[in-house]
Structure formats: structure tokens, C-alpha cells
Amino acid sequence: MNKLTIFGICIVGFFIIIAIFAPIFAPYNPGQIDIENILTAPTSSHIFGTDSLGRDLFSRMVYGTRISLMVGFIAVGIASLIGIALGAIAGYYGNWVDGIIMRFIDIMLCFPTFFLILAVIALLEPSIINIMMIIGATSWMGMARLMRAEILSLKERDFIYAERAIGASDFRIITRHLIPNAMAPVLVSITLGIAGAILVESSLSFLGIGVQPPTPSWGNILSEGKAVMGAGWWMMLFPGMAIFITVLGYNLLGEGIRERLLKS
């Protein structure tokens, strides 16, 4: 395996462990306000410093990891459900079904995704669940196209004809035989999609229309960091680094999977 891929796996694993065991890693309650220690630079008791309400930045970052990863995973989960289902249906049934789904994808791709997400948020409330659903509902198009392309070539293969000959239903053929065999390239897209979703969530939270304070997310911590620019470098450095490293990790992992697939 490529060194960069291993590096990616380490990053991904590291943050997942932090997210799962957040209460163990966080030395303080992330919401605990301490008026006497406002905006203190990193010290031995607050290794990442404190924010403008005296809350421990490290603890907030640890809990923020949970939020950011959860949004990333669930959003991509939703996107892959939609993408895989529509892609498989389009590829398997072809004809007008394919035509309608593909035109729908073309239309969706015309919208600047970020505009579409913002427009929907303006109409709903920016809660975590809404954000996951919106990101999921606007980022499935690439996966659908990949899935369709795979299915188009798979459905002419002998084992599918055999399956049909023994009277298997369309549903069974699609879910048991076609989709599992077509998953490989979609997996790359899913991995890269997690990175994308984390970036979108943090951008939204940074703009104040994503995860709402006091719930910590890397994006909204950074937004608070912008407000105290010049007076608290740690508020800008750590959350930014966390987003950057996490996204890098998923991208490296995705590239690694892609290379492996190309070789096999």
C-alpha cells in the first residue's frame, strides 16, 4: 500500500476514535463557561487555550469532531442511498426511465450546490438534522452517474442472464447482484464525499447558518475565532487545522482506494 494511503487511514482512524471516545478525551465540559479565563493562550491546563467565554477549546474541538464526522457520515449516507438507488434504476431499466433520471441529474448539476443548500436552509431551520439531509439531497449526482455506468456494463453479463433465467425478480437482481458488484467505484466517491460534506458543513457553520452555537462544530468555533481575530490565534489555528487534516485524510484514503481499483 502507498505511504500516503496509510497516512490517510491513520488520520481517518484517529478522528473516529476521538469522536467515539469524546467524553474520555475532553478534560472539561465543552459548554462550561469560565469568566475568569477568557481568551487565554494555550497553557498546560488548557492545551488549546480558551474561547471568548472561557470555555476550554480542546474540549470543544473534541466534541466538535463528533458533530463534524456525524454530519459527514450521515449526509453521505443519504447521498449514497439516493445516488445508488437512482443510478441502479436508470442503468437497469434504461429507455425513458433512464432518460428522465439522467435529465434530472443534468438539471441538478446546473445549480451551484452551495446556493441550493443555502436556499433550502433559508426555508427550514438550520438544525443538524436538516443540514445532514440538505447536504445529502444535493450531493448524490456523481454517485448516481457512476452507479449507472457500472450497471450498464454489468447487466449484459452472463451471470445476470442466468439469474433472470431462473426467474429472479428485478428487485433481487438489482439489490443482490448488480449493486454489490458495482460498488467499488462508488466507494471512492463515498470516501471523497465525506470529505466534501465535512467541508460544506464547516463552511455553513462558519457562515452562521450551519450547526448553531452553543453546540460546538469546527466551523462555528472558527467563526468565533474570526470575531476575535488578532486576539486569539489559537481560535483560528486549531479548528482550521482539524478541518484541513480530516479532509486531507479522506481524500488520501479515497485516492488510495481508486489506485487499488485501477490495479486490480
Partner 1 sequence: MGKYVFKRIIGLAALLLGITIITFSVIHIAPGRPTDLEAQFNPKVSMEARERIAHLYGLDKPLHIQYIEWLKRFARLDFGISFMDSRPVMQKILERMPITLTIELFSIILILLIGIPIGVGSAVKEGSFYDRFMTVFVFIGFAMPTFWLSLILMDFIGVRWGILPISGIKSLEFEKFGNFEKIIDMSKHLILPVFVSAFGGLAGISRYMRSSMLNVLKQDYIRTARAKGLREKDVLYKHALKNALLPVVTILGLSVPGLIGGSVIFESIFSIPGMGRLFYESVMARDYPVIMGVLVIGAVLTLLGNLLADISYAAVDPRIKLE
Q: Which residues bind partner 1 (CB under 8 A)?
A: 4, 103-104, 106-116, 118-124, 195, 199, 202-203, 206-209, 222, 225-226, 229-230, 233, 236, 240, 243-245, 247-248, 251-252, 255
Q: Where are the alpha helices (DSSP H) in 111-228?
A: 113-123, 128-137, 141-154, 158-165, 170-172, 179-206, 218-227
Nearer to partner 1, 178 or 239 (CB): 239
How many CB atoms lie under 10 A from the CB of residue 70? 15
Residue 136 CB, nearest approach to partner 1 (Å): 15
Q: How far, rounded to the nearest angstrom, does the alpha carbon of residue 24 sit from its chain's CA centroid?
A: 24
Handedness of CA 190, 192, 17, 19 (dihedral sign): negative
- Which residues fall within 8 angstroms of residue 102, CB to CB, at 6 or more apart? 90, 148
Q: How far is the CB of 247 from partner 1 (least distance, A)?
A: 4
Q: Which is nearer to partner 1, 53 or 116 (CB)?
A: 116
CB of 215 to partner 1, least distance (A): 19
d(CA 37, CA 216) in angstroms, rounded, equals: 19
In whole angstroms, the minimum distance from the beta carbon of 104 to partner 1 comes to 7
Nearer to partner 1, 24 or 119 (CB): 119
CB closer to partner 1 out of 38 and 207: 207
CB 243, min distance to partner 1, A: 5
Nearest CB to partner 1, comparing residues 11 and 178: 11
Which of residues 33 and 124 has its CB atom nearest to partner 1 in the complex?
124
Least CB distance from residue 168 to partner 1, whole Å?
A: 35
d(CA 260, CA 264): 6
* CB of 80 closer than 8 Å to CB of 193: yes
Neighbouring C-alpha atoms within 13 Å toward the C-beta of 81: 9
Task: Determine the Cα–Cα distance for residues 122 and 146; give it in Å rounded to an integer.
Answer: 31
